[in-house]
A and B are shown apart, each in its own frame.
Chain A
Amino acid sequence: MIELTVNGEKRQTDVSPDMPLLWVLRDEFGITGPKYGCGIAQCGACTVHINGVAVRSCQARIGELGGAQVLTIEGLGAKSLHAVQKAWIDHQVPQCGYCQTGQIMQAAALLDKTPKPTDEDIDMAMSGNLCRCGTYVRIRAAIHAAAEKL
């Protein structure tokens, strides 16, 4: 039995220890904000925070996460919307939206470390998050706007 904290709530699971956190969240816990896109850390749609760090949950094996603090998009804005989420809404960033929960988790982690990022900082931090719909221009603008508010 593996025990971890997800969005402030204690959770237990007895799945195979090599099962990725992504699928535990989605299929075992019913937390579907983190998305399956590629399974090999190429798209970033599954991004969550583990102990405060943005991580591709498709690569994080559940057996290594005993006691971990996991934050998903559902937890990020649970009390009130995070500045990044507000900026995403103000700038109407999403098209299909499938990558955007991962984009938002990645952007929130960027702003934790780099409160006033340049375009280059944003390109560096966000280029691992693929958006097939091509909302990059708006993502860049929304991150700058969120940085102003934080």
Chain B
Amino acid sequence: MGHITNISRRTFLVGSAALTGGVAFGTWSFAQDAVTDVPNPLLPGLGPNAASFNAWVKISPEKITLITPHADVGQGVASSQAILIAEEMDLDLGQFETEFGPPSAAYWNTGLANEFVPFTETDHSPAAEAAREGARKYLKESGLQITGGSSTIPDSYEKLRLAGAVARETLKAAAAKRSGAALADIRTQSGHVILPDGTKIPYGQLATEAAQLPPVQNVALRAPSQWRLIGKPMERVDIKAKATGALKFGIDQTVDGMVFASVKLNPYKGGALTAFDAGTAEAMPGVKKVLQITNGIAVIASNSWYAMQAVDAVECTWAKGNYPPEQAEHWAAVEASFSPAKVDKEWRNEGDIAAALKDATVIDAEYRAPYVAHQPLEPLNAIAVVREDAAEIWVGHQMPRIVQSMVATLTGLKPEQVVFHNQWSGGSFGHRLEFENVRTVIEIAKEMRGTPVKVVFSREEDFLQDFPRQIAMARNRGVVKDGKIIAADMHFASASAVRSQFGRLGMPAQGPDTQIPAGIWNMTYAIPNYRATTYAVEGVSPTSSWRSVGASTGGFFAECFIDELIHAAGLDPLKARIAMSTIDVYRKVLEAVGEMSDWKGPLGNGKGRGVAFMEAFGVPIAEVVEVSATAKGIKIDKIWIAAEVGKVVDPVNFENLVQGGVVWGLGHAINCELTYSQGAAQQTNYTSHEGMRMYQCPPIEVRGLENGSDIHGIGEPPTAISPPALANAIFAATGKRLREMPFNKFIDFV
């Protein structure tokens, strides 16, 4: 069900739009367009007494189901998508179920366009708006259903409220038709339509009649002052099941008749399997079969542990991959990329940078950021069954339509013959945008036709097959004079995660990578002579989007160097940033962390505070970190962080997500790098790549600001801003400037 383009339905929608006078609002709205101008993928699978008014709402006499198509990988978007619909539908928590829904172009991401265009978020000039519009058109035409780039809330904020309002108004119309009451006298409350005489009709009882009506598209959204759910703390729809163990992640699912598999793939990624000896493995307990797959071996057994033990015992000979075998060569490739021939783009060039840099007091500094692994706690897994005329797959994934088309390609089936069941994921951080689990489970299931196969990667295999965060360096120069920063010349060289990722999908990205200059193309300080240039690093490890993508390296490079210039100018790090702010809403974010932390300048006594600020994913975000230099090492005492997102949809989830982003950013900045030797990752479990543990985690005070008019997500920005805030704090406490991650290579932490 789900993905078949329904021509008659499409025609019908066009007809009904004409009937209601076309566009519902005085001004054209892309969200309105996204709700109405798509075939509804839920209609083909609806039962006889059920109704669906658009791609997000299903009602039957038994239950109300809200479709929350953005994958929930822990960021809580099943809940935030649901309350956006429920708000306008007059549903209370507990009156509906949620489902992730099918792969469908109906769920094209309207919120990602901003990330595709190099305009600062507050830039609403005709050029910026035209570029966004072009990006949106592309996203719609390609039907790109994707969770990522902190885009779920920007995508959903208006669209899902409209979807809920359409459902509400259509139910009201059905009640009017049934009762003969005037539509204007009918209202809704708590899952019921209420007639003028006070009669309450549960929505489910109107499903059959509502299904006969054209969805009422001409709807008005409620004023925020009337909101019951949005902006207030809610109990997340998954919280109880996650506290009782009842929630089934992808790895917990079972299918009748299922067998268990595990894989060993060439650790020198991209290389082939040249020979293997499975003699020992075949004789091990529970083993049913040993299979050769494209770049490795799969063992099928009667449980996952037997499969993992046996696949580990297969002796393999591997061909080389297509990147340098040793880590030092990767760094050499980055160093060699700072050349005119490798320029990806000069993003900005303001004032007279060449003249300004002739000053004798030029400050220059080199920064480095290593590869890091994703490694969410739920390892890669998937279940699939391949039959002659159909395939079915159960996997937690952020790009459902691409999973579907990949399965179709691998099996020779048509996309509409592939059923995809999205799953709750035990974290992602970018990992569930990759396909090694999808590809391997299908290769195995093809060999076991008719038998469902569950593949689970061992943690070690997951590390070895992880496409890490980009490796990157910066060479920055600047000049300060008379207590002012008068020049900054920022040069970043980086592998392109986006190009690598989409290249693997056969969808090569065009033009310069807008992620690599994160932090410098959109730097909003008043610096009279300013240049921002990026260089493309090629011929290194394949890489992938890692929580906050380019900003995870760019934020560190940009905000530590600005801090160096501020100190060289003899200025207060927070006051100087506030003074240099050119956008009012952004300045307020800096002022907020100043107020929260009661910032008063240097602390003394071995204590230090650092501040950092940037725009990441359209979100201006600032963080203050306080540390103590103890005899045993640096102790992080406290963190204050503020971000401007336009509207905080759920303050509790917002706080949790921001705190988690800080922990993710700091844990990896302090403790983690992924390095290569003989082509393979040297870190293969949390012993050597552990992130942050509880003892390192300080209190983290969070504030969400709502001064701006643009709506944003918050999954990624806190990760990007945390490493520079910590490095700047360590400088304040010790005088030691950390210019390379992970920091524990240079200083101890307690």
Contacts and interface: CB of A to CB of B under 8 A. Distances in A.
B75 A27 contact: no
A40 B699 CA distance: 29
B377 interface: yes
Interface in A23-50: 23, 26-28, 30, 32-33, 35-40, 42-43, 45
B10 interface: no
Interface string A55-96: 000000000000000001110010001000100110011111
Contact of A137 (B458, B653, B699): B699
A129 B686 CA distance: 11
Given A27-B305, A134-B659, A32 B243 contact: no
B663 A134 contact: yes
Q: Which of A37, A123, A133 has the largest count of B CB atoms less than 10 A from its CB?
A: A133
B353 to A, nearest CB: 39
A111 interface: no
Given A85-B243, A97-B238, A132-B691, A19 B305 contact: yes
Contact of A101 (B245, B376, B687): B245
B304 interface: yes
A138 B285 contact: no
B235 A92 contact: yes
Contacts of A81: 243-244
Contacts of B249: 35, 98
Nearest to B245: A33
Given A19-B305, A38-B685, A134-B697, A92 B656 contact: yes
Given A132-B427, A133-B74, A137-B659, A97 B685 contact: no
Interface string A88-119: 11001111111111001000000000000000
Contacts of A126: 694
Given A28-B303, A92-B235, A134-B659, A98 B378 contact: yes
B686 A130 contact: yes
Nearest to B308: A39
Contact of B243 (A40, A88, A124, A127): A88
Contacts of B236: 92, 94
B243 A135 contact: no
Interface residues of B, number: 66
A96 B74 contact: yes
Contacts of B327: none
B251 A36 contact: yes
Given A15-B303, A27-B303, A39-B458, A132 B239 contact: no
A122 B659 CA distance: 18
Interface in B291-316: 303-306, 308
A97 B72 CA distance: 11
Nearest to B658: A134
Contacts of B124: none
Q: Which of A73, A98, A128 has the largest count of B CB atoms less than 10 A from its CB?
A: A98
A72 B246 CA distance: 12
Contacts of A88: 239, 243
Contact of B304 (A27, A33, A92, A95): A27
B695 interface: yes
Nearest to B698: A137
Q: Which of A97, A124, A134 has the largest count of B CB atoms less than 10 A from its CB?
A: A134
A122 B694 contact: yes
Contacts of B456: 36
A41 to B, nearest CB: 10
Contacts of B667: 134
A139 interface: yes
A51 interface: no
B662 interface: yes
Contacts of B420: none
Nearest to A37: B377
Contacts of B246: 74
B267 interface: no
B75 A85 contact: no
B326 interface: no
Contacts of A12: none
B691 A130 contact: yes
Contact of B687 (A23, A42, A97, A131): A42
Given A97-B247, A137-B697, A16 B285 contact: yes
B363 interface: no
B659 A20 contact: no
B304 A94 contact: no
A19 B662 CA distance: 38
B686 A98 contact: no
B700 interface: yes
A96 B662 CA distance: 16
Given A94-B243, A122-B694, A139-B694, A133 B427 contact: yes
Given A37-B459, A138-B656, A96 B664 contact: no
Contacts of A133: 74, 427, 660, 663-664
B656 A95 contact: yes
Nearest to B233: A92
B690 interface: yes
Q: Which of B306, B653, B661, B694 has the largest count of A CB atoms less than 10 A from its CB?
A: B694
Contacts of B664: 132-134
Interface in B662-696: 662-664, 667, 685-687, 690-695
Contacts of B428: 96
B2 interface: no
Interface string B204-245: 000000000000000000000000000001011011101111
Given A32-B248, A92-B235, A96-B426, 9 more contacts: A37-B459, A40-B687, A73-B245, A88-B239, A95-B656, A96-B427, A123-B695, A127-B694, A131-B377
6 contacts: A42-B690, A85-B243, A88-B243, A123-B695, A132-B375, A134-B697
* A-B pairs with lowest CB-CB distance, top 10: A134-B663, A96-B74, A98-B426, A33-B245, A97-B242, A73-B245, A134-B660, A27-B303, A23-B305, A32-B252
